[in-house]
């Protein structure tokens, strides 16, 4: 059973998956940096907020992808951070939102 979980390199499959996910996050941070440097901050922020609200926020135990939103918000202090907090507070106080979403906003 242990052999089935290990890769050809002798490392557990979990480590390889984590490495792949880390690499994808690194590539994504690079892409976001290039978009920000190119002056696409407003469009980038709008897209990320929409994706965050639709896909990341309602996902139980999401641990890492929200850092993409935090990264862009940190690069655009002021309005982006305020808009993000307002989004979270609005969803937290919305009784029509599923409990998992409201809990994630807290």
Give the integer Cα–Cα distance in Å for 102 and 76.
Answer: 25
CA 8, distance to chain mean position in Å, is: 31
pLDDT of residue 62: 79
Q: Residue-wise over 3-35: b if at least 16 C-beta within 10 A, else e?
A: eeeeeeeeeeeeeeeeeeeeeeeeeeeeebeeb
Q: What is the pLDDT of residues 3-56, one digit of tens each?
A: 455 555 566 777 888 889 899 999 999 999 999 999 998 899 999 999 999 988
């Amino acid at each position: 059973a242990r052999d089935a979980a290990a890769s050809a390199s002798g490392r557990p499959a979990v480590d390889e998956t984590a490495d792949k996910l880390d690499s994808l996050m690194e590539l994504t941070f690079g892409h976001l940096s290039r978009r920000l440097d190119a002056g696409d901050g407003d469009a980038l922020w709008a897209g990320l907020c929409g994706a965050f609200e639709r896909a990341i926020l309602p996902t139980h135990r999401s641990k890492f992808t929200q850092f993409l939103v935090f990264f862009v918000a940190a690069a655009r202090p002021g309005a982006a951070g305020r808009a993000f907090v307002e989004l979270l507070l609005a969803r937290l106080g919305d009784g029509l939102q599923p409990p998992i979403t409201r809990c994630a906003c807290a």
